[in-house]
Amino acid sequence: MKKKRVPMVVSFGVLAAMFFGAHSASAQEAPHRIEITAKRFSYEPSEITVKKGQPVVLVIKSLDTAHGLRFRELNLNVTIGKNGAGELSFTPDKAGDFTGHCSVFCGSGHGGMSLMLHVVN
């Protein structure tokens, strides 16, 4: 009886290891990196789409003065120095459209400098 149980236990252990191993690998999924350039008074691209639950890194590079990018609804903000770069790392947990604005006053068109983030299921 004991001998019969051993293969069962081993099989169960292998299956469990496979399941949890796969789960762990998916939890450490490499983030989706998106490069964005910022210059007076726009972002390029001006719209991006990401998946809910998928880690994202927005890499923002300024081509002129200091800028920023803030999504108030998502409680995210990054500021970038003159000709510098910054990153915004997050995992979107809700689907929808979110508008990000430049968070560092950069001149007369600052108020219209925005980026649309689409989070899809």
d(CA 119, CA 98): 8
d(CA 2, CA 74): 56
CB of 70 to other proteins, least distance (A): 8
Structure tokens given for 14: 């292998």
Evaluate the CA torsion angle 45, 46, 49, 54 in order and state its sign: positive
CB of 99 to other proteins, least distance (A): 9
The residue among 34, 66, 57 whose CA lies nearest residue 47 is 34
Check if the beta carbon of residue 86 is closer than 8 Å to that of residue 80.
yes
CB of 67 to other proteins, least distance (A): 13
Comparing CB distances to other proteins, the nearer of 41 and 90 is 41
Comparing CB distances to other proteins, the nearer of 28 and 108 is 108
Q: How far apart are the first and last CA of the chain?
A: 49
Comparing CB distances to other proteins, the nearer of 37 and 79 is 79
Comparing CB distances to other proteins, the nearer of 45 and 107 is 107
Which residues of this protein are in contact with other proteins, per CB under 8 A? Answer: 72, 101-102, 105, 108-114
CB of 76 to other proteins, least distance (A): 13
